[in-house]
Chains A and B, each alone.
Chain A
């Protein structure tokens, strides 16, 4: 620190500004809490966090893939949609239970994403990044419109039948259902499994090495193509589970349902700092909370929720472009 003299008059002005800001924020939060009563506020917060957990499952796929191949996999949201449909058919047509259905959805999504990676992205590994991105957009369109065909899934809204009865508990006005418990519990479980794979297994070590430097990893004897496929598979499995949980929470599915949650999950991943797993998680919780808070407290919020979601993104970009957990990048000459 170079400053030799401290001007106390200047400092007092600064601290007055800080105090005003603090009072303003506190007043704002209290105002929102008392607006419809504290129960309403905490209920909204809980719903937001629940939505955030579902977003987290999608955002992790984005962040893993981006971390390894720097590709925004636009088709990821549609893989999520396929997961929801797979479990729908497992439950409604074959009468399977919840656990087999979710496993089925995860397997279908894994296979689908690996096929997409092999067919569409792998030939473009050395092409300019935009080529891969356009291809991803193409794959996304293909999945949406192909599944909307009459003999695939159809273009209508379908009511999703939950594989278990809904149980409601009340804690002094606060409503908690078993759906919330399942979403939070399952997401945390999957997160721990993912963290274990990345941090503790040989595959995870190879993934981290590939993310750091692809050619060096190849020189160390890592099968880079295999690792990339494995990353796509991991992301897809999480998205499949996310699709099932999303459909259980909001039981209406159609083939374009992946678009907005996919985009918002991607925004969440960017919010947290893309490439970072804890960042994606925290970003998703924030994104989900903002989503539900806007709907609950902003007038006409349910119509303006997307506007606010992306406004937050732009503000974050202006203040800290690399996201909350992102590492600052410096350009090399």
Chain B
């Protein structure tokens, strides 16, 4: 007897996905929905991508982050700078911004690689242990701190040199390849590169921010990330002091509006595939074990700091991609989009949908957009201000009546946990002597899994 599902789980999921894609495209092409609602649907899908990232951080890994909107903003501006450069050359070369940002990331990766490759952390501990033998403890700490600071400065200098060289090489490469292509061919390639650029930038920054902050307890980590989000917001408001074209508090304009339903849908599907395969891999199990009990996970050999940083970086990556899609949806970016108040949206979505449920996140994103925009339609003239009065009341009702969220940790279709692989050892067949009831309940349990 083999434990197989009658219908493979991917089949209905694929059908629903195709149906959704076709239905929305058809409704748009036959003008059954207005441009406004079409954009609302796209925005809901974009929010779902970002919320999936937060669900990985908070729902699956248990790290309470309030700063997700900061990474969303980094992804949005990071990709918008690239595409705007291609369309309206603000940096002196159509691919200048792309080469600079990719090179900077390469430099950062190089720094991280050198730090972990030379095992700087271990060496620091060795130095501290050595110094403690000869001088007072606080003096030993000072020596270690100064020595690691000097070491870090040297490594950063090396990283900067690598970035500088890489920028020249990348620029030459991009000019030779991307700029030779016609605009129709180059556009999707550049858009994908821009989105990836925003995503990896958000991921790298979240890794760097997360590494030291993730040692803090849950509430403290939440507040620290909240502080980070406010810092990003304030920096964006004054971004024109550094890069003129970001326009600071006036809002960045003239971003090409390349996001369409195809890109958004592909992004959501890819995010779900990536997320699902991560969650059910051995890394995913390690990530979830950190949420359940850190000390138990550590004693089972899980490197909890690494797992937290990994989940945080992945979550940041998702937020960055979503931000990039958002930036090219309206073609206009303003810091107030990334203010604190909007920053609670993804958190509310994942809690509403169920912490640790990918299906719940997607469903809740759709419902969230529907409620926010639906209230705009439903409320009579002159009562638009009531939108944000009703919305918290709904939130309170959900919290008071159903705290585990819409779906709890349940999943649907292909997003459910895969069955264990088929084994050579067959499951023992029903023995004639065993009571019928027990076997039935075991089978029932298996089919529910």
Contact = CB atoms under 8 A, between A and B. Distances in A.
> Interface residues of B: mostly helix, strand, loop or mixed?
helix
A300 B403 contact: no
Contacts of A329: 217
Interface in B382-412: 385-386, 388-389, 391-393, 395-396, 399-400, 403
Interface in A277-333: 300, 303-304, 306-307, 310-311, 313-314, 317-318, 321, 329, 331, 333
B344 interface: yes
A148 B223 CA distance: 27
Interface string B151-184: 0000000000000000000000000000000000
B393 A130 contact: no
Contact of A321 (B217, B389, B391): B217
A292 B184 CA distance: 53
A138 B388 contact: no
B292 interface: no
A300 B239 CA distance: 12
Given A14-B143, A131-B399, A135-B399, A266 B135 contact: no
Nearest to A299: B241
A11 interface: yes
Contacts of B391: 141
Interface string A126-163: 01101100110111111011101110000100000000
A107 interface: no
B389 A270 contact: no
A318 B212 contact: yes
B396 A138 contact: yes
A263 B403 CA distance: 26
A134 B142 contact: no
Contacts of B217: 321, 329
Given A11-B135, A14-B142, A146 B351 contact: no
Interface in B36-75: 64
Contacts of B368: none
Nearest to B347: A134
A298 to B, nearest CB: 12
B244 interface: no
Nearest to B145: A17
A149 B386 contact: yes
Nearest to B138: A14
Interface in B129-150: 131-137, 139, 142-143, 146
Contacts of B396: 120, 135, 138-139, 142
Interface residues of A, number: 57
Nearest to A13: B143
Interface stretch (A1-9, A43-51, A87-95, A212-220): A1-9
Contacts of B237: 303
A28 interface: no
A127 B403 contact: yes
B220 interface: yes
A267 interface: yes
B331 interface: no
A141 B223 contact: no
Highest count of chain B CB atoms <10 Å: which of A4, A17, A131, A310: A310
Given A14-B139, A17-B142, A145 B231 contact: no
A266 B212 CA distance: 21
Nearest to A150: B385
Given A139-B396, A307-B231, A314-B224, A6 B351 contact: no
Given A5-B134, A313-B224, A317-B224, A123 B216 contact: no
B148 to A, nearest CB: 13
Interface residues of B, number: 54
Interface string B239-260: 0010000000000000000000
B135 A10 contact: yes
A6 B234 contact: no
B235 interface: yes
Contacts of A5: 133-134
Highest count of chain A CB atoms <10 Å: which of B137, B223, B226: B223
Contacts of B235: 307
A314 B439 CA distance: 57
Contact of B389 (A130, A146, A331): A146
Given A11-B139, A14-B143, A318-B212, A310 B385 contact: no
A331 B230 contact: no
B64 A270 contact: no
A72 to B, nearest CB: 7
A134 B355 CA distance: 13
A322 B228 CA distance: 18
Highest count of chain A CB atoms <10 Å: which of B133, B146, B348, B392: B392
A124 interface: yes
Contacts of B215: 321
B54 to A, nearest CB: 12
Contacts of A146: 389
B295 interface: yes
A249 interface: no
A191 interface: no
A140 to B, nearest CB: 8
Contacts of A141: 341, 388, 391-392, 395
Interface of A: 1-7, 10-11, 13-14, 17-18, 70, 72, 120, 123-124, 127-128, 130-131, 134-135, 137-142, 144-146, 148-150, 155, 259, 263, 266-267, 270, 300, 303-304, 306-307, 310-311, 313-314, 317-318, 321, 329, 331, 333
Which 5 pairs of residues, A with B, have the shortest CB-CB distance?
A310-B227, A145-B388, A7-B134, A142-B392, A141-B392
23 contacts: A2-B133, A3-B132, A3-B134, A3-B136, A4-B133, A7-B135, A10-B143, A72-B219, A72-B223, A124-B400, A134-B351, A142-B393, A144-B388, A263-B340, A303-B237, A304-B238, A306-B231, A306-B234, A307-B230, A310-B228, A314-B224, A321-B217, A331-B294
Given A120-B400, A141-B391, A267-B223, 20 more contacts: A1-B136, A3-B132, A5-B133, A11-B134, A120-B396, A131-B399, A134-B351, A141-B341, A141-B395, A149-B389, A263-B230, A300-B241, A303-B234, A304-B234, A306-B234, A307-B231, A314-B228, A314-B231, A321-B216, A321-B220
